[in-house]
Amino acid sequence: MAQLRQAYLKKKAEPLQIAYPEGWQGAKSGDEFGDEIYISSMPRMLTEDEVSLVQDYLKKLPYPQELALTGCVMVDSEDPLLQMSHTELTALERTEDLPQTHSVQGKGLRSTFDRVLIIREQGHQGTGENYSAQLPKRN
Amino acid sequence: MAVGNQGISVYGPPPGAPGIRVIQQGGTNSLTSPLLGRVAFVAVLKRGIVGVPFPVTSRSVYDQLCGDPSNIIWPLYVDGSHLGPDAIDGFFNMAGGAGQLWLIRPALDGSETKAKVTLKNRAGTEVLKLEAANEGAWGGAYAKVEPTPVLNATAVTFTVDQPGILANQYMGAIARFSGKTTSYTVVANTASDPITNLAVFTIGSQYSLLADGIAGPTSISGTSSYSRHTFVAGTISCPMQVDVPGTVVFNNTDTTLIGSGTVFTNLSIGQNIYHLGEAHVVTSITSDTTLTIDSPFSIAGNAVTIQQDNLVVTGSNTTFTSSLKDGDMLYYVSNNLVYGRKVATIASDTALSLTSSFPINIPSGSQVLSDNLWVTGDNNTKYAQELSVGTSVVDPSQQNETVTVTAIDTSSSVKRFSVNKPFVQDFVNASLVQQSLEATVLLQPPTSTGLSVSVGLGQKYPTTHFSLDVYFNKSKVLTVPDASLDPNDPYFVETAVNNENIAYRDGLKVYQVWVTASSLCDSAYTTAQSNDVRPFNGAGTVLAVNARQMFSVDDFDYSLAIGSTLYPNPYTNPRSFLRIKGAKAPELLQGTVSVSGVQVNGSATNFTQAFQPGDFFYDPLSKSVQKVRLVQSDTAMVLQAAFPNNLPAGTTGAKKAGYIQVDQGIDLTKISRVGDNFMTSYREYFTGGYDGDTSMMKPYYFTQYLSPDDSLLENSVWGLNVGLMRIACPGISDVTVQRQGVAYANAKAWEYRVEVPTSITNAIDAVNFVSDQLGVYGCSVAFPSYGLISNFAGAGQRMVPLTGDIMGLESAYSWSNGGYHVAVAGVKAQLVRVLNLATKLNPTDEASLNTAGIQSIKFLQGAAVIWGARGPSLDDTYSFLNVSRTQKNYIRLFLESTALNQLLFSPNQPGIIDQISLLMESFARKEYANHVYNEFLGFSSAVTIKVTNASSTGGDVMYSYVPAGVLEKVYVQIGPNVVVASSQSKNTGV
B494-549 pLDDT, tens digit per residue, is 999 999 999 999 888 999 999 999 999 988 999 998 899 999 999 999 999 999 99
- Cα distance between residue A72 and residue A75, in whole Å: 10
Confidence at residue B388, expressed as pLDDT on a 0 to 100 scale: 87
> Nearest C-alpha of chain A: how many angstroms from B736?
8
- Is A41 part of the contact surface with chain B (CB cutoff 8 Å)? yes
Predicted pLDDT at B28: 44
Q: Residue B15 has what pLDDT?
A: 66
Residue contact A106–B213, C-beta within 8 A: yes
Sign of dihedral through CA atoms B893, B895, B898, B902? positive
Measure A58 CA to nearest chain B CA, in Å.
Answer: 8
The count of other CB atoms within 10 Å of the CB of residue B475 is: 12
For chain B, what percent of residues have pLDDT higher than 90?
A: 67
CB contact under 8 A, A62 and B385: no
Q: Identify each DSSP E strand in B647-693 by its residue range.
A: 647-651, 655-656, 658-662, 677-681, 684-685
In angstroms, the CA B173 to CA B164 distance is 16
What are the pLDDT digits (tens) for B676-700? 999 999 999 999 999 999 998 999 9
Question: Which of B99-108, B458-467, B871-880 is least confident?
Answer: B871-880
What end-to-end distance do the CA atoms of chain A give, in Å? 27
- Average pLDDT, integer, range B423-441: 90
A37 touches chain B (CB under 8 A): no
CB–CB of B168 and A19 under 8 A? Answer: no
Q: What is the pLDDT of residues B110-124, one digit of tens each?
A: 999 999 999 999 888
Q: Boundaries of CATH 2.40.30 in chain B?
A: 143-216+436-444, 587-656
Q: Number of residue pairs across A and B with CB atoms under 8 Å? A: 161
Q: Which of B384-398, B632-646, B863-877 has the highest mean pLDDT?
A: B632-646
Assign B254 a pLDDT band (cuts: 50, 70, 90): very high
Distances (CA, A) of B762 to A14, B532, B771, B854, B873: 19, 72, 14, 12, 21
pLDDT score at B685: 95
Rounded average pLDDT over B374-399: 90
Q: What are A47-63's pLDDT values in tens digits?
A: 999 999 999 999 999 99
Q: Residues B893, B882: contact at Cβ < 8 Å?
A: no
Q: Which residues of B touch A5 (CB under 8 A)?
A: none
Which residues in chain A are closer than 8 Å to B761, comparing Cβ atoms?
A: 60, 62
**Phi, psi values for residue B555, rounded to 5°:** -95, 90
Whether the predicted pLDDT of B965 surpasses 50:
yes
The pLDDT, as a whole number, for residue B517 is 97
Measure the CA angle with vertex B166, ends B160 and B167; round to 5°.
95
User: CA-nearest residue of chain B to A29?
Assistant: B696
Q: How far is CA A14 from the centre of its chain?
A: 25
Please report, as a single letter, which amino acid is at residue B567.
Y
Mutation target for B interface from A8, A16, A17, A102: give the one with most B CBs within 10 A.
Answer: A17
Mean pLDDT of B160-170: 94
Q: Say yes or no for a CB contact (<8 Å) between B697 and A15.
A: yes
Question: B360: how many CB neighbours lie within 10 A of its CB?
Answer: 14
Option in A19, A40, A107 nearest B213 (CB): A107
Q: What is the mean pLDDT of chain B?
A: 89
**How does pLDDT run across B862-890, given as a tens digit for each residue?**
999 999 999 998 877 778 898 888 888 88
Q: What is the pLDDT of residue B866?
A: 96
Pick the CATH number of B143-216+436-444 from 2.40.30, 1.10.3470, 1.10.10, 1.10.1790: 2.40.30
Cis link prior to B784 (omega < 30° from 0)?
yes
Cβ proximity of B441 and B175 under 8 Å: yes
Instruction: Report the b/e string of B265-275 with b at 16+ CB within 10 A.
Output: eebeeeebbbb
Hey, are the CB atoms on A14 and B761 less than 8 Å from each other?
A: no
CA distance B809 to B59: 15
Record the pTM: 0.82
Distance between A112 CA and the closest CA of chain B, angstroms: 10
> Nearest-CA neighbor of B617 among B562, B546, B544, B684?
B544
pLDDT at position B902 over 90 = no
Contacts of B37 (CB under 8 A, 6+ apart): B95, B98, B99, B100, B810, B811, B814, B815, B819
A80 touching B, CB under 8 A?
no
The DSSP H or E segment spanning B416 is strand B416-419
* pLDDT greater than 70 at residue B975: no
Query: Which residues in chain B are classed under CATH 3.40.50.11780?
Result: 38-108+697-886
pLDDT band at B412 (very low <50, low <70, confident <90, very high): confident
For B222, nearest residue in chain A (alpha carbons): A108
Residue B741 has pLDDT above 50, yes or no: yes
**Contact B758/A61, CB-based, under 8 Å?**
yes
Q: Is the pLDDT of residue A21 over 90?
A: yes
Mean pLDDT of B606-621: 95
Query: Biggest alpha carbon distance in chain B?
Result: 152
Phi–psi pair at B324, nearest 5 degrees: -130, 170
Task: For B401-436, give one letter per residue: b (16+ CB within 10 A) or e.
Answer: ebbebeebeeeeeebbbbbeebbeeebeebebbbbb
* B202, B734, B786 ranked by CB distance to A14: nearest: B786
CA B644 to chain centre: 46
CATH fold label, B587-656? Elongation Factor Tu (Ef-tu); domain 3 (2.40.30)
Q: What are phi and psi of B938, to 5 degrees?
A: -70, 165
Nearest to B696 among A38, A60, A110 (CB): A38
Helices (H) and strands (E) counted in chain A, each on its own, are 4, 7
Distance CA B305, CA B307 (A): 7
Question: Which architecture, in CATH terms, is B38-108+697-886?
Answer: 3-Layer(aba) Sandwich (3.40)
Q: What is the pLDDT of residue B390?
A: 85
pLDDT of B432 above 60: yes
**What local confidence, expressed as pLDDT, does residue B914 receive?**
80
State the distance between the two ends of chain B, measured CA to CA, in whole angstroms.
30
**Facing B696 at nearest CB: one of A30, A61, A62:** A30
User: Do the beta carbons of residue B871 and residue B783 sit within 8 Å?
Assistant: no
Does B987 score more than 50 pLDDT? no
Alpha carbon B278 to its chain centroid, in Å, reads 62
pLDDT at B959: 82
Evaluate if residue B673 carries a pLDDT over 60.
Answer: yes
The neighbouring-strand residues paired with B588 are: B655
User: Strand runs (DSSP E) across A28-133, as ranges?
Assistant: 36-39, 44-47, 67-74, 103-104, 108-109
Contact yes or no for A62 and B217 at CB 8 A: no
| C-beta atoms of B205 and A12 within 8 A | no
Reported ipTM:
0.93
- Amino acid B976 reads P
How high is the pLDDT of residue B169?
94
Residues of A in contact with B172 (CB under 8 A): none
